[in-house]
């Protein structure tokens, strides 16, 4: 079995790949406004990756077993779309929420994977709270990460916070190891129990990307075989970072100039410790 521990050289390459993925989100932010189509956002991101960064979008033609090739450069998941929304003619309107999920491949062959939520115009109170709670879920999961911690610690922290807010956790999709392969071991579940599952070791790199629904957790896959919606049509939110496990904690790799700061409950915790 291939080791999940990255070499110092791998880690250096991953820092670059992950920063570049985050910089695509920085770049696209000002274009995410009323009247733009998801297809236009895709084209802008693809052009930026190719012509400014010299990266390749990992989703384009990505074809896991049982799927048709993914046809676009990014994922655009609007409102009740949980993940893997395919960019197209959909016009973004005031009140919509959208997740933009970016994965780049560097010329050296390393993958960086990150996503953020965006509001079009003024969000509803529910949409704002769902996006905030989901952001907190991601960071609470990340905050569990250190050498010798358990994968179940991450899932439990996420699940606990989502359920306390009255929300549900999607179980069909999870975080994943990443490096010179898009999706590799370990699977990082966004639910679970403390001190269960694989023990983390410094040098592992994986994503934390909780999908949280305002209603029930059940999903429905659309006829395009990619787009995943909430079965009950409730709103869904997702945030994603790629993270390196260190001896003392973690290093979030998918940070760039305009990454939102960690939520207050993470800052408060580190002040207390
Ligand atoms: N970026 C997604 C993830 O976080 C995967 C998208 S696969 C695609 O794992 F083909 F839909 F792009
Ligand atoms: Co991912
Ligand atoms: Co992603």
CATH number of the domain where residue 239 is located: 3.90.230.10
Please count the other Cβ atoms lying within 10 Å of the Cβ belonging to residue 81: 24
Q: Looking at residue 39, what DSSP letter applies?
A: H
| Residue 119 counted as domain residue | yes
Residue among 257, 62, 97 nearest 176 (CA):
62
> Which pLDDT score is estimated for 87?
99
Instruction: Report if residue 270 sits inside a domain.
Output: no
- Residue 261 pLDDT grade (very low, low, confident, very high; cuts 50, 70, 90): very high
pLDDT at 40 over 70: yes
Residue 269 inside a domain? The answer is no
pLDDT per residue as tens digits for the range 109-139: 999 999 999 999 999 999 999 999 999 999 9
User: What does the alpha-carbon distance between residue 209 and residue 239 come to, in Å, rounded to a whole number?
Assistant: 5
Residue holding tokens 């610690």?
A: 153
- The whole-number pLDDT of residue 273 equals 43
130: Cβ contacts below 8 Å, ≥ 6 apart: 97, 167, 212, 214, 235, 236, 237
Spatial CB neighbours of 23, under 8 Å, sequence gap ≥ 6: 53, 256, 257
Q: State in Å: Cα 272 to ligand 1 middle.
A: 36
* Spacing, Cα 272 to ligand 2 middle (Å): 31
pLDDT digits (tens, 9 = 90+) for 191-238: 999 999 999 999 999 999 999 999 999 999 999 999 999 999 999 999
Residue 88, in any domain of the structure: yes
> How does strand 111-119 pair with strand 168-169?
unpaired
- Is 73 contained in some domain? yes
- Identify whether 238 is part of a domain: yes
Two structure tokens written together for 34:
């009323």
Atom 2 of ligand 1, residue of closest alpha carbon: 101
Residues in the chain: 273
Ligand nearest the Cα of residue 83 is 1
Quote the mean pLDDT of the chain: 97
Counting the structural domains of the chain, the total is 1
Residue pair 150/199 in contact by the 8 Å Cβ criterion: yes
Coil, strand, or helix at residue 71?
A: coil
Ligand 3 centre distance from Cα of residue 2 (Å): 23
User: What range defines the domain where residue 89 resides?
Assistant: 8-253
Report the nearest-CA residue for atom 8 of ligand 1: 59
In a domain, 17, yes or no: yes
What confidence tier does 271 reach under pLDDT thresholds 50, 70, 90?
A: low
* Pocket lining for ligand 1, CB < 6 angstroms: 59, 62, 70, 75, 84, 101, 103, 113, 207, 209, 226, 240
Mean pLDDT to the nearest integer, 43-65: 98
Residue 254 has pLDDT above 60, yes or no: yes
Which atom of ligand 1 is least distant from the CA of 103? 1
**Residue 267: enclosing H or E segment and its boundaries?**
helix 264-272
**Structural domain contains residue 104:** yes
pTM over 0.85: yes
Name the closest ligand to CA 57. 1
pLDDT band for position 16 (cuts 50, 70, 90): very high
pLDDT digits (tens, 9 = 90+) for 162-177: 999 999 999 999 999 9
What's phi and psi for 265, nearest 5 deg?
A: -70, -20
């Amino acid at each position: 079995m291939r080791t999940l521990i990255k070499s110092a050289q791998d880690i250096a390459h991953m820092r670059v790949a992950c920063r570049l993925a985050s910089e695509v989100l920085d770049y696209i932010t000002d274009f995410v406004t009323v009247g733009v189509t998801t297809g236009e956002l895709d084209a802008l991101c693809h052009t930026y990756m190719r012509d400014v960064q010299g990266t390749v979008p990992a989703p384009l033609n990505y074809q896991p077993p049982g799927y048709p090739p993914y046809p676009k450069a990014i994922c655009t998941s609007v409102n009740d779309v949980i993940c893997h929304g395919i960019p197209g003619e959909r016009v973004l309107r005031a009140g919509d929420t959208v997740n933009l999920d970016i994965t780049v491949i560097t010329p050296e062959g390393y993958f960086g994977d990150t996503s953020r939520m965006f509001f079009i115009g003024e969000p509803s109170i529910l949409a704002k709270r769902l996006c905030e709670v989901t952001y907190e879920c991601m960071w609470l999961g990340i905050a569990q990460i250190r050498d010798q911690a358990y994968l179940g610690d991450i899932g439990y922290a996420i699940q606990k916070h989502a359920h306390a807010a009255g929300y549900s956790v999607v179980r069909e999709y999870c975080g994943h190891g990443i490096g010179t392969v898009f999706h590799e071991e370990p699977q990082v579940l966004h639910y679970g129990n403390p001190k269960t599952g694989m023990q983390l070791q410094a040098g592992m790199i994986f994503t934390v990307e909780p999908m949280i629904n305002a209603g029930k957790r059940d999903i429905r896959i659309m006829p395009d075989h990619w787009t995943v919606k909430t079965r009950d049509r409730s709103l869904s939110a997702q945030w994603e970072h790629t993270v390196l496990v260190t001896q003392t904690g973690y290093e979030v790799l998918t940070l760039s100039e305009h990454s939102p700061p960690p939520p207050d409950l993470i800052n408060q915790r580190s002040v207390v410790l």
